[in-house]
Structure 1
């Protein structure tokens, strides 16, 4: 949990200081805030963690200056377990 908290905090700071505006910045900020809240409230809901990660990645995935921070958040989320297998 501490690793996720640290990664989310770091990416939130990077995003806050990033000078460029982009269309989905608000989505990224909202989802990072949700992830930060989950790290305070105890053990997070894994599907919700993964959903937030996907939304954040979609929102800032093309901003190369934030790629490392996004990767750190993804790595921290993956520590909670592998993604579910597809249905079929």
Structure 2
């Protein structure tokens, strides 16, 4: 039931998907593709892949939890280090997450 509410919240009144969710899905998909194509040695590749999968699932569920998105971004950035070949894709993920604004105070 909660997932249905979140999924509906991601759809505008006219039935179109929230553009922030669309941007996040596209950014995560790009990062996943570029990571899969990167043949260099990345000791924490599996961590980045797992976290990208989690971000994709969050986007598929509707409007995601902003603090969770930000933590995921930090995990991915830490796992990828400073690999310049993946910097553009990671920047796109960061920008997509920023579209959701700042997290609410706890």
**Please, what TM-score do these two structures have when normalized by structure 1?**
0.90
Map 1:1-88 onto structure 2 (within 5 A).
1-82=21-102
Determine the C-alpha separation between the residues in 1 that align with 2:62 and 2:49.
21
CA contact (8 A) 1:61 1:67 kept: no
CA contact (8 A) 1:5 1:36 kept: yes
CA contact (8 A) 1:4 1:73 kept: yes
Determine the C-alpha separation between the residues in 1 that align with 2:35 and 2:62.
25
Would the alpha carbon gap of residues 83 and 61 (structure 1) be closer, same or farther in structure 2, given more than 3 Å must change? farther
SS in 2 for 1:62: coil
Q: How many residues are paired up?
A: 85
Determine the C-alpha separation between the residues in 1 that align with 2:57 and 2:63.
11
Give the superposed CA RMSD.
1.4
Runs ≥4 residues deviating over 4 A: none
